Structure 1
Amino acid sequence: MTENELSYKIIGAALELHRNLGVGLLENTYETALAYELKKLGIAVEQQVTLPLIYKEVTIENAYKIDLVIEGKVIVEIKSVIEIHPIFQAQLLTYLKLAHMKLGLLINFNTLLIKHGIHRIVNNL
């Protein structure tokens, strides 16, 4: 599946999840439930993936922790906040660059309409 095809499936699963759980839960609840929904669809999901950072001669093994990596192609960062700040989008773009991936979804489940909480971040897609 391409990044765009995966994105479509991820967003569909997020809509289903939001419809069933609503707003106000912790981020890890949404993360675990979204991973479950995607696995039910036969999609490979990794949770809490550590991403090392190499700075000059130093390797920082656990520099970053990515919420979900889907099929090794799409990064999903889960939020449950009142509003998305630009720093969240910049952080996801940094993850994409360091992981050499092209597409990320920033999904904020703390919105009345989930479509307002989905942000697509691209890195040379």
Structure 2
Amino acid sequence: MGTLIHEELSNRIIGCFYQVYNTLGHGFLEKVYENSLLIELRKQGLQAEQQIRRDVFYDGLRVGEYFADIVVDDRVIIELKAADGIAPEHEG
């Protein structure tokens, strides 16, 4: 894995993800994992918000909006995907 900007926070988030995955396993829709991860992040004392709308700007002009699945401590955006496996476009 490459360099993490918020390494300690990112490692805590990854730990929460593994706790959710090890408990639920695979096969559920994305929303099930999103809701479960939100619960686990909060259990671990992290500030986590779900489906946060962010305006997107280009050259000072608003060009659209983005909905983040989960935002942790106003620093890390989590975009969840439920898939059968890791496809090449998901790597890197």
**Pairwise same-fold verdict (TM > 0.5):** yes
Per-residue deviation, 1:60: 4.4
Distance 1:50 1:34, change over 3 A: same
Equivalent in 7, 10, 13 of residue 10 of structure 1: 13
Change (3 A) 1:84 1:71: farther
User: For residue 79 of structure 2, what is the aligned residue in structure 1?
Assistant: 77
4+ residue segments displaced more than 6 Å: none
Partners of 1:38 and 1:57 lie apart in 2 by 34
Please tell me the residue identity of whatever aligns with 1:8: N
**Structure 1: which 5+ runs fail to align?**
90-118, 120-125
Q: 1:25 to 1:53 in 2, by over 3 A?
A: same
For 1:35, give the aligned amino acid.
L
Paired residue secondary structure (1:80): coil
Work out whether 1:26 is the aligned partner of 2:53.
no
2:35 aligns to what SS in structure 1? helix
> Any unmatched runs of 5+ in structure 2?
none
Identity, % of aligned positions: 33
SS at match of 1:28: helix
Residue 77 of structure 1 aligns to which amino acid in structure 2?
E
Q: How many residues matched? A: 87
